[in-house]
């Protein structure tokens, strides 16, 4: 698959995952189902894009969105920033990035 096609498919799966997650947040269906489906799509998108950094960044986004509704915002922000710094560091210093 060419690089442009990989990027397009990765962004498409990321957007679909976000739409599914928002459907769960707005009570169209159970939030757990929306979260699980979004997580699966984001992992597949990261695997297609061949970036471990994208997969870890997606986990940080899930943590931020779900945690903001259930926990103290400061703890959620600190956890999310830690996850994203880890993803950025891994992407910067690994050859798989």
Domain positions in the chain? 3-93
Burial class (CB in 10 A: 0-12, 13-18, 19+), 5: exposed
Produce one character per residue of 19-50: b if its CB has 16 or more CB atoms within 10 Å, e if not: ebbebbeeeeeebeebbebbbebbbbbbebbe
Entry pTM: 0.54
61-87, pLDDT tens digit by residue? Answer: 777 777 767 777 777 778 778 877 877
Question: Rounded to the nearest 5°, which phi and psi values hold at 2?
Answer: -70, 160
27-45, pLDDT tens digit by residue? Answer: 888 877 887 788 778 777 7
The residue among 19 and 67 whose pLDDT is bigger is 19
Q: Max alpha carbon distance in the chain (Å)? A: 43
């Amino acid at each position: 698959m060419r690089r442009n096609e990989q990027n397009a498919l990765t962004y498409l799966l990321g957007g679909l995952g976000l739409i599914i997650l928002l459907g769960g947040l707005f009570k169209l269906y159970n939030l757990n189902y929306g979260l699980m489906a979004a997580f699966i799509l984001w992992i597949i998108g990261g695997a297609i894009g061949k970036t471990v950094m994208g997969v870890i960044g997606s986990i940080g986004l899930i943590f931020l969105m779900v945690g903001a509704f259930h926990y103290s915002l400061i703890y959620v922000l600190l956890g999310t920033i830690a996850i994203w710094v880890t993803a950025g560091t891994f992407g910067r210093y690994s050859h798989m990035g």
